[in-house]
Structure 1
Amino acid sequence: MQQVLAQVSLTFVCPPPIGYALEKKVVKSKAGEKVGLLCCHEIPSSESLHNYRVYWQKNITEVVLAYADGNMISKHKRYENRTEMDTRNLTLWISPVEILDNGSYQCVVQHRRRSQNSVVCDEHVTLFVTADFSKPNITAEVSAHSCESTEMVVSCSSHGGFPKPKISGVLNNMSVVWNTSWVSMSSLSLYNVTGKLWLNVTKDVSFTCSVEYNGFVKSTSLLLKKKDDCVVPTVPPSYNVITASSIIIIIFILAITLAARYLPRHVCSHCCKPQDSVEEGVKECMKPPVSSEVTSETSSV
């Protein structure tokens, strides 16, 4: 067993010869799904796995599994109960896929002829694993308000996804720039992301926040409403207006006072003759008027 593993290590570490181009294939999968990584060779129906050696390795240093003489000779403990290989087309199946499975894989196939092993193929496959982010949550908080506009702090957040995402936003069909922050335990752990934006809203507008990751997009829209409870403040009268109004009121009061005192005396001066005493004047005023007929008769007598 030790001799076989040593040979496996030498097989994977050796670089390809100069001018030998490695065709890299890319496979995308989501965490929790089942994914198959295709090898570069398929065993003919006239032969069996006993005539081959197959090595699946990750990042050149980590042997996922290895077969020789039709039997499994090595398997990494992290892939226990999660991997199997098709014995005909040599596809490596991983289920369920984990975030840590991200990386470059290599399939090396050797054919045993007599006492020698010749390399049939050597191919690299890159696996990208994604985890879906939650639907973005948008909140808007009013920071200032006037009759012309409403200033808002808009936040957009999403969590539980992979890889590191990008937040984008659209306001009135125009993109906006976010102040973005990420939280993750490591480069191969799930991410939480939050973006903040300061907006000056002059009318009701539709706003969209999107979280983009590895070709996938999650979006949420929200209607941002401008506050319409604007009350125009009452402008106090100027000093000149107050002064003029006060003068007019004072003049009006004085006029009424003088009129109240002047009019009774003016009327009494027409109905009463001046007397030596007040009492006689009052009596004189109270005498009934003498008719013209009586006056004529008296003068006649």
Structure 2
Amino acid sequence: MMCLPASPPALASRLGLGLFVLLCLGIGQALENKAVRSRVGEKVGLPCCYEIPSSESLHRYRVYWQKNVTEVVLAYSDGKVISKHERYRSRTEMDPWNLTLWLSPVGLLDNGSYQCIVQRNSIVVCSQPVVLFVAADFSKPNITAEVSAESCESTEMVITCSSHGGFPKPRISGTINNMSVEWDASWVSESSFSPYNVTGKLVLNVTKDVNITCSVEHSGFSKSSSLLIEKTNDCIVPPVPPPYNVIIASIIIVITFILAITLAARFLPRHVCSHCCKHQDSVEEGVKGCTKRSMSSKLTAETSSV
């Protein structure tokens, strides 16, 4: 089968589709190059959409770098600086050929949208925005454990993971013995471009040794810490207090015993004394009787001898 050449309408349609694809790819590449990421304290360059040909010079152009449309960061005309914002006065410079705007050192307030506008002979040859994202590193997470309840089988602990001084708002994650865990997280920041303090809490029943990790992630950066919690085997069972009714019965028995001893100590000596007196009287009467009988016998014997 012989292939026939495409008709003019079909060819135009294919060319239009190809141009559309190229346009989409160009737009996608432009959108991809719009965002620039940096960290606090670094030097960062914001690319412009135009590069001056080697046959020309900056003197034939006007270049404006502005932020949020209304704030002029830097402006050049006839190769000289004609305007520079006070906040950027000692922190900015521009490359005279590719017109890149350099900021150093960058801070959180530098976050935002910038635009490079290039004019030649009063004609705008380039105007394209670029977004700067400035991140601040968080401190290394600090993990602490506080015992809230303990028994022989398990120990209930409140695990806290905290970090501060970072930007933008982070995500906090972690693991327990390599198993993912969700933290109950809270964030504090004074304003939209102020550092964040983040705290995550977790209630955990520890029945064995566990290894806990906590990670603070933001803008592709991450910092992590770990803590090993060992479950001790020592267990001291506290004595169980007796029931209330047993305590009352014991008190009654003790009181009764004390009363019995008191009464016995008061009345028993009198009874013993009276018994002893009676016994002594009987003994004395018996002695007297024996004496009388012996004397009578003696008198009878004497009478008989006479």
Displacement after TM superposition at 1:233 (Å): 5.9
User: What is the count of residue pairs matched by the alignment?
Assistant: 216
Alignment correspondent of 1:153: 158
Alignment correspondent of 2:91: 82
Q: Identify, as 1 or 2, the structure richer in helix.
A: 2
Alignment correspondent of 2:55: 46
Q: 1: CA distance between counterparts of 2:193 and 2:240?
A: 63
Q: 1:168 aligns with which of 165, 173, 180?
A: 173
Matches within 5 A, 1:8-87: 23-24=30-31, 25-87=34-96
1:259-284 deviation digits (Å, cap 9, x = unpaired): xxxxxxxxxxxxxxxxxxxxxxxxxx
Alignment correspondent of 2:103: 94
Displacement after TM superposition at 1:207 (Å): 0.5
Q: 2: CA distance between counterparts of 1:228 and 1:150?
A: 11
Q: 1: CA distance between counterparts of 2:239 and 2:72?
A: 81
Alignment correspondent of 1:296: none
Q: 2:197 aligns with which of 167, 170, 192?
A: 192
Question: Quick check: 1:229 aligned with 2:234?
Answer: yes
Alignment correspondent of 1:271: none
Matches within 5 A, 1:251-262: none
1:235-290 deviation digits (Å, cap 9, x = unpaired): 89xx9xxxxxxxxxxxxxxxxxxxxxxxxxxxxxxxxxxxxxxxxxxxxxxxxxxx
Q: 1: CA distance between counterparts of 2:74 and 2:180?
A: 48
Equivalent position SS for 1:227: coil
Q: 2: CA distance between counterparts of 1:216 and 1:179?
A: 21
CA separation of 1:72 and 1:187: change in aligned 2, threshold 3 A:
same
Amino acid at match of 2:41: G
Alignment correspondent of 1:124: 129
Displacement after TM superposition at 1:228 (Å): 2.0
Displacement after TM superposition at 1:205 (Å): 0.8
Amino acid at match of 2:185: T
Question: CA RMSD, aligned part only?
Answer: 2.2
Q: 1: CA distance between counterparts of 2:172 and 2:88?
A: 34
Equivalent position SS for 1:157: strand
Displacement after TM superposition at 1:160 (Å): 1.1
Amino acid at match of 1:92: L
Equivalent position SS for 1:50: helix
Contact 1:150 1:227 in 2 (8 A): no
Displacement after TM superposition at 1:109 (Å): 0.9
Q: 2: CA distance between counterparts of 1:211 and 1:65?
A: 36
TM-score by length of 2: 0.66
Displacement after TM superposition at 1:99 (Å): 0.6
TM-score by length of 1: 0.67
Contact 1:172 1:205 in 2 (8 A): yes
Displacement after TM superposition at 1:234 (Å): 7.2
Amino acid at match of 1:99: L
Amino acid at match of 1:59: N
Alignment correspondent of 1:217: 222
Q: 2: CA distance between counterparts of 1:86 and 1:30?
A: 21
Q: 2: CA distance between counterparts of 1:48 and 1:217?
A: 44
Contact 1:131 1:161 in 2 (8 A): yes
Question: Quick check: 1:107 aligned with 2:112?
Answer: no
1:79-117 deviation digits (Å, cap 9, x = unpaired): 1100011111100000010110011111111111xxxx2
Q: 2: CA distance between counterparts of 1:138 and 1:102?
A: 31
Question: What percentage of residue pairs aligned between the two structures are identical?
Answer: 72
CA separation of 1:67 and 1:147: change in aligned 2, threshold 3 A:
same
Q: 2: CA distance between counterparts of 1:187 and 1:227?
A: 46
Contact 1:145 1:227 in 2 (8 A): no
Contact 1:166 1:213 in 2 (8 A): yes
Give 5+ residue unaligned stretches, structure 2. 1-23, 247-306
Contact 1:208 1:219 in 2 (8 A): yes
Equivalent position SS for 1:97: coil
